[in-house]
């Protein structure tokens, strides 16, 4: 089901419009609209508490926005029939399995080995053939440099290794959209690089990515679009060169002063 009759290539992978979210009287998202085109890497910046995580959680409907719509490849998430009937869990799951999420605290399943973590959802949610999925998972592990950790349990990995498994787990879903919520901010500084390197190569390979990050270097070099949030609103968005070189708003200038010089 598509809302508008356009060619598949022209449809944004993600189209967020007018999202509002309130937690007991506190307005956390205040009319946020944002699009991510196919193959784009969009970096979401903003001070702590500005609503970045909440926005990401609204995208895969872990959080239900009060207002606004989220479209994944033109398909409405969370609501059916013109937005009046909430989707059931099964229907939500069908949309969620088309996105891959990478979490700040990795959130690997501790009872499963590295390989099992990666194949769990493809096999049991997407119902793909186990042997095929295993072959793909092994290739993914090779790509993130963890082939030798195939049968290790997450508790035995370093933070950087855990996050690379987290990325491989998301990629194994063959997602149309990758969501990253501060994937490096729980890591020791010397481990950040290995994860950033994997993300860069994904971006270059043409993955569609929405990345919440405080890594300004990554945003500057890799992003096709940079979005700054503050107080639940988008205060500025543009291409990285313009955003970092010559921000239009005062708020962006302040933000960059604090984060880029630090």
Partner 1 sequence: MMRDFSLIWQSADRLLDGLINTVLLSLVGAALALALGALLAIPLMASNPVLRLVSRGFVDLMRCVPFLMLTYLVYYGLPRLGLRFDNWTAGLVAIVVYNTAYMAEIIRGIWSRLERETIEAAVAFGFHGWRLVSRIILPQVMLAAGPMIGNQLIQIIKDTAFLTIIAVPELTHAANSIQAQYFIPFATFITAVLMYWALCMVVEVGVYAVERIAERRR
Which residues bind to Mg ion, rule: CB under 5 A? Answer: 53
Half-sphere exposure of 126 (CA within 13 A, CB side): 22
Burial classification of residue 208, based on how many CB atoms lie within 10 Å of its CB (0-12 exposed, 13-18 middle, 19 or more buried): buried
* CA separation for the pair 100, 176 (Å, rounded): 8
The partner in contact with residue 111, picked from Mg ion, partner 1, ligand ATP, none with C-beta cut-offs of 5 to 8 angstroms by kind, is partner 1
Q: Dihedral through CA 87, CA 29, CA 207, CA 215, nearest 10?
A: -150
- Which sign does the torsion angle of CA 203, 115, 100, 10 carry? positive
Name 30's bridge partners: 20
Please, which residue, 51 or 122, has the CB nearer to Mg ion? 51
Q: Which of 12, 40, 41, 54 binds ligand ATP (CB under 6 A)?
A: 54
Site for ligand ATP, residues 1 to 40, rule: CB under 6 A: 23, 28
CB of 62 to partner 1, least distance (A): 6
Of 260, 104, 256, which Cα lies nearest the Cα of 192? 104
141: enclosing H helix or E strand = helix 130-143
- Residue 50 near ligand ATP by CB under 6 A: yes
We find the least distance from the C-beta atom of residue 231 to partner 1, in angstroms, to be: 25
* From Mg ion, partner 1, ligand ATP, none, interface partner of 49 (C-beta below 5 to 8 A by class): ligand ATP
User: Measured between alpha carbons, how far is 251 from 235 in angstroms, rounded to an integer?
Assistant: 7
Residues 58-77 that bind partner 1 (CB under 8 A): 60, 62
How many residues would you count in the chain? 262
Residue count, binding to partner 1 (CB under 8 A): 30
| Of 153 and 244, CB closest to partner 1 | 153
134: Cβ contacts below 8 Å, ≥ 6 apart:
115, 119
**List 2, 3, 66, 105, residue binding partner 1 (CB under 8 A):** 105
Q: Report what 121 binds from ligand ATP, Mg ion, partner 1, none; CB cut-off 5-8 Å by kind.
A: partner 1
Phi, then psi, of 141 in degrees rounded to 5: -60, -40
Residues lying near partner 1 in the complex (CB under 8 A):
60, 62, 89-90, 92-94, 96-97, 99-101, 103, 105, 107-112, 120-121, 124-126, 153, 155-156, 169, 173
Name the site residues for ligand ATP (rule: CB under 6 A): 23, 28, 46, 48-54
């Amino acid at each position: 089901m598509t809302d508008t009759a356009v060619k598949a290539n022209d449809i944004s992978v993600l189209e967020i419009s007018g999202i509002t979210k309130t937690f007991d009287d506190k307005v956390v998202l205040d009319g946020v609209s944002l699009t991510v085109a196919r193959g784009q890497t969009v970096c979401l910046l903003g001070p702590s508490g500005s609503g970045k995580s909440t926005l990401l959680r609204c995208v895969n409907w872990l959080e239900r926005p009060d207002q606004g719509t989220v479209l994944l490849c033109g398909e409405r998430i969370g609501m059916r029939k013109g937005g009046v009937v909430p989707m059931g869990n099964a229907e939500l799951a069908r949309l969620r399995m088309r996105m891959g999420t990478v979490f700040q605290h990795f959130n690997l399943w501790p009872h499963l080995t590295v390989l099992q973590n990666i194949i769990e959802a493809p096999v049991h949610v997407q119902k793909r053939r186990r042997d095929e999925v295993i072959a793909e998972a092994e290739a993914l592990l090779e790509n993130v440099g963890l082939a030798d950790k195939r049968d290790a349990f997450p508790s035995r990995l370093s933070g950087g290794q855990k996050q690379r498994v987290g990325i491989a787990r998301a990629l194994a879903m063959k997602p149309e959209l990758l969501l990253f919520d501060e994937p490096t901010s729980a890591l020791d500084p010397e481990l950040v690089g290995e994860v950033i390197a994997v993300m860069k190569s994904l971006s270059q390979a043409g993955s569609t990515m929405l990345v919440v990050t405080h890594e300004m270097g990554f945003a500057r070099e890799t992003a096709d679009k940079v979005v700054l949030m503050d107080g639940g609103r988008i205060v500025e968005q543009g291409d990285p060169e313009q955003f970092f070189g010559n921000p239009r708003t005062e708020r962006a200038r302040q933000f960059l002063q604090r984060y880029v010089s630090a």
